[in-house]
C-alpha cells in the first residue's frame, strides 16, 4: 500500500513541476519589474514567494 501512495505522489509531483516552473518564471518577471521601479514592498513579496516556490520544487524533486 505504501508503494502505491508513493507512486501516486510521484505522478502528482511530475504534473506539478511544469506548473511550478511557470509560476517561478512569472514571479521572477514580477521581481524584475519591482526592481526596475524600485518597489521595495513588491520586491519583498516576490522574494518570499520565490523562496516558497523553491522549497516546494526541492520537495518535489526529492
Q: By CB neighbour count within 10 A (0-12 exposed, 13-18 middle, 19+ buried), where does 46 fall?
A: buried
* pLDDT tens figures, 4-19: 555 545 667 678 888 8
The reported pTM is 0.76
Q: Say which residue, 22 or 7, is predicted with more confidence.
A: 22
Average pLDDT over every residue of 38-47 = 97
CA 34/CA 26 separation, integer angstroms? 12
Residue 43 · residue 34 · CB < 8 Å:
yes
Amino acid at each position: 500500500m505504501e508503494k502505491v501512495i508513493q507512486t501516486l505522489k510521484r505522478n502528482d509531483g511530475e504534473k506539478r513541476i511544469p506548473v511550478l516552473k511557470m509560476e517561478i518564471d512569472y514571479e521572477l518577471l514580477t521581481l524584475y519589474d519591482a526592481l526596475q521601479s524600485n518597489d521595495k514592498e513588491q520586491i519583498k513579496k516576490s522574494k518570499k514567494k520565490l523562496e516558497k516556490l523553491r522549497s516546494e520544487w526541492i520537495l518535489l524533486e526529492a
